[in-house]
Structure 1
């Protein structure tokens, strides 16, 4: 056979392999571990939950996700816990860790997809597109992203209208362990949702979550205290909270203005955030000043 003939035959065999699967192409991941409540919510919203074989402890919505094997807390993962369910892909929110665990996972010949965490409408839609691309569901993800974006813009506009020219100052308290207030500052999920709900974060002097002195809280003078609705340090009774020396002098304490919401709904920044904006806005402005 001539060189041309051999080339022609080879091309035909290659095309046949591509068409009929005798040559392996990149396989679609079928065994996925999701790390991060919003990542898991997005996978369910895209209708791809049948591919999930594990989730982290923050992935508590929808309720069906709780039936999946729990591979640990997002920020305290162990390689053994994650790899025990034999995933072929791990989709993890930014901040998952610790770093040494991520090093092991990324070297375990398992696809690892990091998902950036940006606390804004654009950040949420970018999450959706990244997760969708990882799943090979780009078209569905784009449709979901556009719907979520529309819902978010509408919720934000309504919230701003309700707030008007007198937005509330809100102090988000992560915990009160040992009588110390751990509050949410700038560039945090708490800061993002407070602003999107038509209010002002009372604390912008630091980033993330840090303890505050009694004097700093008094100076911040929040109109409302915002907390997650769960047990432990977050379950302090309202009377005890408002009687704390750091809280008692504030307008929030004087008017008994405390709002509690489900943590994942409030701070998850996923497909349900538009409803979180509306719920928080209604709670903040349900009573006249």
Structure 2
């Protein structure tokens, strides 16, 4: 992906190599050490916990002192620069799309971290993978995730794997701004686990669709093979692919993100249409 020399987002905080864990936002007791049970491009799992956690967060936000404990390598510095540029690409694209639909886009934030982080959705470790927290409208990423995405899950290496994940997480921000996530939470509270999982799948596939829409509007920055890299990442993190690799069998009723085929299908639908109105995954999955 073409990114060198482009404008960087001013909404990215890089906490890599720092101690202190960032914002300390939770109250005391067991809630203060909640670990979010999400993995591989999660989003809705965090959102489901948000209403509960916010009750404990009110009035408890503080900032811990941070110190840099190590110097970032040149490769890490460049990766951080690339992430900031891609995040800026999302800001420009979605601001324009929202304007075309007579809406105002509120830019999200991003925090790069290592090992663990405290957020307004709870405390999380790097094991959860990249995620979006609607309570503070922030995307959280430990970039070491992408090494595992390649080595353990077989995704192709390349900048656009990271760009795809960023665009997917920003897709959850779009859902927050449009009220989709809130509606899904209400519906999930009225159904059983199987029904709630199906709604989660629809939400995740829509975030993949929005990632594809973003890619369509940023074709001028794409290199040959970038779309194949995105599809490789989508293939790697399908529920069926993960379950086969980790437990040796597939249990569809437990899917929360969609199959590899579905994730690739909806990303490509977004990419082929570039039209935000074509992403009704909820009715498509009925």
After TM superposition, the score normalised by the length of structure 2 is: 0.23
Q: Using CA pairs below 8 Å that are at least 6 residues apart, which structure has the higher relative contact order?
A: 2
| Bigger proportion of residues as strand | 1
- TM-score of the aligned structures, taking structure 1 as reference length: 0.23
